[in-house]
Amino acid sequence: MVDKQGAAPFSGLSARTARGAGLPESIWSSYPLFGGGEITSIAMDPTNSQTVYVGTRVAGVFKTTNGGQSWQPARNDLTFYPIRSLRVSPQDPKTLYAGTDFDGIWKSIDGGDNWFKSSSGLDDGLIVFQLVINPLNPSTLYAGLAGGVGLVVGDIYESKDGGASWEKRNSGIPHYEGSAYTVGIISLAIDPTDPLLLYAGTTYDGAFESADGGGNWIAINNNLPVLSGIYLESVNALAVDTHHSNRLGAIIDGQYYAYLNNQWQLTSKNHFYNGGIDRDFLYFHPTDPLAIYSSGSTFSKSADGGPNWTRYLGWGALTYSGTVGEIVFPPSSPNTIYAATSPASDYFGGVYKSADQGQTWALASQGITATTIRSVAIDPQNSKFMYAGTGEGFFWGTKDGGITWSRGYYVSDQKHYEFGFEVTDIVVDPLNSKTIYIASDEGVYKSVDQGQTFTVMTDRKVDWPDCMAISPGASGAIYLGDLFGNGVVFKSSDGGLTWVQKTQGLPPNHVASLAIDPNQPQTVWAGTSWGGIAKSIDGGDNWAVKGLTQKGEVDAIAVRPDNSKVIFAGIGSLVGNSLYRSIDSGDSWQMKLSNIGTVYRIVFDPRNPDWLYAATEGSGVLQSRDGGATWTDYSAGLFYPMLYSLAISRDTAPILVGGTYGSGLYWTSPPAPSALPTLEPGTLANGATYIAGGLVPGSWAQVKGTNLSTTTRLWAASDFTGLGSSLPTNLSGVQVNVNHQPAALYYISPTQVSFQVAAGVTGTASVEVVANGVASNFVTAAAATNSPGIFPIILGSTNYATAVFLDGKIAADPSNGPAFRKAVPGDTVQLFATGLVPSPAGTVVSTTLLSGVTVTIGTVTIPASGAALVAVGEFQINFTVPQSFASMPPGLYPISISINGVTSPASINSSPPGPLVIPIQH
């Protein structure tokens, strides 16, 4: 049922991926860490105020079902572009819409568990600033788009089919294509009592009203303030005042305006200026006609209908959280408010919650991993001690391998402080791991208690420390590069108390990366911005440029630990990002990768330096197993493939830790470099029944073991490039040989490989897996001419046959979701199976009819109305549910198929083993 590109022709379901066993697992896992980051949008379940959703900058959507006590990701298949607006259907709380920056609108119909794009008719080059839903007809939505790529002008769009398609609705709104000053719609409001009445706020064209559901718009700009005598002020927020007829509220030029008697009136006396950062939000209290909430860079409240305002959260407020964006509160209990905030200097961002109309707030973000991790380090003597520095100036440490984390501070005047705007680097003293150094935009800090407290180094000759390296030798020398220190490396030989400038021979460019040769601690490498890479062999006193000039900024350097002649350099450049290797101490360089995004870190596996990893800005993590000659993707499990930092522990079974831009801290346990692929006897099985043996040429089979692959994935369209009608026999360096013939591969993982039995196999099938050139042991199983097996869909502990009705529904208990229903007498059913008869192997197939197939349901056997080979290794068997079941009890009936006297197994070797069934009712 899977075609050459892996697409499934029935209801978007592939029998091979829906079976519930052996599916790809994540390589990388996220540390729960500390909760927080940049929250860009927020929405609440209208039927359950304990369920709240938040959108993030690049970490997707998170969900709480317990009022913010804990959060879980809700982002399967969701884009990693910023979620600018998030809305829940007022009548179906399982339906959500997410408006993004530059990637349109996405939709979920299962409470955020899974997402799909819903943007037909929209321009992806725009930002979806606002989404509003018709409260009486939630299949009608409006989207306000603005400020996109290339000065594309935004507009208002309407969908009448739940987001499936969109049409522009801008009649009456000026549209100056290419103007830098009219970039679209930034606020949108709908009258809840008259959903045909809409209001829109623009960047420089004022406010507009539509009385016909967006068909036509008229300007409502009387008395609107004018910017620079030319353009109208931005209407950053709009809200309908449901307490007063025909009254509209707005935030304009940072102040609260009311629209009364066909003109705008400045109402506020002291509203805090929010505008200019992004956008503002305005909310009227559902029961108190004098209470108004406003959010933007702060959360403010007016208790007298708008003249006077008090700040409670954000800049200048009693509770300073960072920048406050959108808020939500249940109309039935408006005292409880959730606020989406973003990091600012010394403040972490995240979700804040108030139970008293915003007068007091508490952080409620546990489980949200939307933080930018700028730097990571692992204690070389005890890997349970790890450290992370954020892009907001926070330092976090763990003593238990990442289970719990605590913040570190520097102390001044008996007060605790963070570390400026960002922690750019962290190094641990290799000779005394209690000593840690931090580089930040505000200087260098030192801890002697494993990161619990820090002191500021007194000698501040550097403006913005950007990178550090510490010598593994007895001298303990520390080297530092400064973002604004052109042509200089700073060196301290007294634990950071004093710093000496080292400039001799360095190019006049700022130093962006540093590395010390672990074998020769006096040898130091410095990567510069467009000045190449420089080498010192005397502890920094003298330098010599060793190439890579005018290539870009050398942001990462790594020296091979067992061979000082081998050096890697990662280059960041607007004209091309690349990774270079030198095998002659920098005398010459060879490009090994290009167009991969900036390489920020390169680390070697301590067990075998032929294995190394690179953290990139756009390609996630890359892995090499041959000393850097070739590289493969190693990013499965990372939500957003942009990494700033990477570290590996020195354990016998090391962990790899990566810090991302905006989606938190991740870890993985790389496989042992020299581990041999090993197949487990008795696991060479039919790909549908999982029962050993019965390998029919052209059918799908599987085998299990260990170290079979370093990645987990299915075949993809790119695997077919240049193959014509052939199927791929190599996925990410993994191959399968059946009786020494290469077999087509569908799925690989470290513990299981799914493949197609090669043509012409008879008697005994002997199988080996070759992983990156290393062959496994052989396992054997009996070949067969007929070994039918129905593909299962395993839901919970029930093995349902992959049976599809003509209406596209799947035969399973409907409690599993809307895609499922039970069979009834007279239903036409399509079964999908493998192994009925030998079929072409290693090539795309054409439909081939088959006869003599019967279907048995319970004790009733009927001939198939049709059977055919319909896809690679997959047969479709059509039958009609007999009317005799109308007089039988409803329930789960065992189902099997037979051909040439061979019947498919009544039970399959699932986990746990169980019968294969079809649900029937009447």
Same domain, 639 and 772: no
SS3 assignment, position 602: strand
Domain enclosing residue 886, as ranges: 789-920
pLDDT of 540 > 80? The answer is yes
Same domain, 447 and 587: yes
Same domain, 501 and 591: yes
> In this predicted structure, what is the pLDDT of residue 232?
77
Confidence class of residue 128 from pLDDT cuts 50, 70 and 90?
A: very high
Same domain, 774 and 815: no
On whether residue 749 sits in a domain, the answer given is yes
Domain boundary among 759, 782, 805: 782
pLDDT of 183 > 60? The answer is no
Same domain, 754 and 723: yes
Average pLDDT, the chain: 89
Same domain, 552 and 616: yes
* 870-882: average pLDDT: 97
On whether residue 141 sits in a domain, the answer given is no
Is the pTM here over 0.85, yes or no? no
The label of the residue with tokens 């605790």 reads 416
On whether residue 226 sits in a domain, the answer given is no
* 598-627: average pLDDT: 92
On whether residue 849 sits in a domain, the answer given is yes
> In this predicted structure, what is the pLDDT of residue 629?
81
pLDDT of 814 > 60? The answer is yes
Q: Report DSSP letters for 21-33, one per residue.
A: SS----SSEE--T
> In this predicted structure, what is the pLDDT of residue 674?
62
The values of phi and psi at residue 552, to 5°, are: 140, -160
> In this predicted structure, what is the pLDDT of residue 898?
98
Domain boundary among 782, 799, 825: 782
Same domain, 549 and 498: yes
On whether residue 174 sits in a domain, the answer given is no
pLDDT of 319 > 90? The answer is no
Strand partners, 614: 602, 622
Strand partners, 382: none
pLDDT, tens digit, 9 for 90 and up, residues 830-871: 999 999 999 999 999 999 999 999 999 999 999 999 999 999
The values of phi and psi at residue 887, to 5°, are: -105, 5
On whether residue 431 sits in a domain, the answer given is yes
Type of residue at 432: N
> In this predicted structure, what is the pLDDT of residue 858?
95
* 632-648: average pLDDT: 94
pLDDT of 177 > 90? The answer is no
For 813-831, give one letter per residue: b (16+ CB within 10 A) or e.
eeeeeeebbbbebebebbb
Q: Among the residues of 277-419, which ranges form H helices?
A: none
**Looking at residue 478, which CATH number applies to its domain?**
2.130.10.10
pLDDT, tens digit, 9 for 90 and up, residues 486-497: 899 999 999 999
Same domain, 797 and 724: no
Tokens of 741: 């013939």
> In this predicted structure, what is the pLDDT of residue 500?
94
Same domain, 655 and 683: no
For residues 528, 533, 538, 539, the Cα torsion angle rounded to the nearest 10 degrees is: 40
* 57-80: average pLDDT: 95
* 776-791: average pLDDT: 94
> In this predicted structure, what is the pLDDT of residue 225?
85
How far apart CA 281 and CA 275 sit, in angstroms, is: 10
Same domain, 629 and 739: no
Which has more confidence, 243 or 533? 533
Same domain, 525 and 433: yes
**Looking at residue 729, which CATH number applies to its domain?**
2.60.40
Helix (H) or strand (E) holding 736: strand 734-738
Same domain, 463 and 571: yes
> In this predicted structure, what is the pLDDT of residue 320?
53
How far apart CA 777 and CA 805 sit, in angstroms, is: 43
On whether residue 38 sits in a domain, the answer given is no
* Total tally of structural domains belonging to the chain: 3
pLDDT, tens digit, 9 for 90 and up, residues 385-437: 999 999 888 899 999 999 999 988 887 776 677 787 899 999 999 999 999 99
Domain boundary among 782, 811, 846: 782
How far apart CA 526 and CA 824 sit, in angstroms, is: 73
> In this predicted structure, what is the pLDDT of residue 185?
86
Percentage of the chain surpassing pLDDT 70? 92
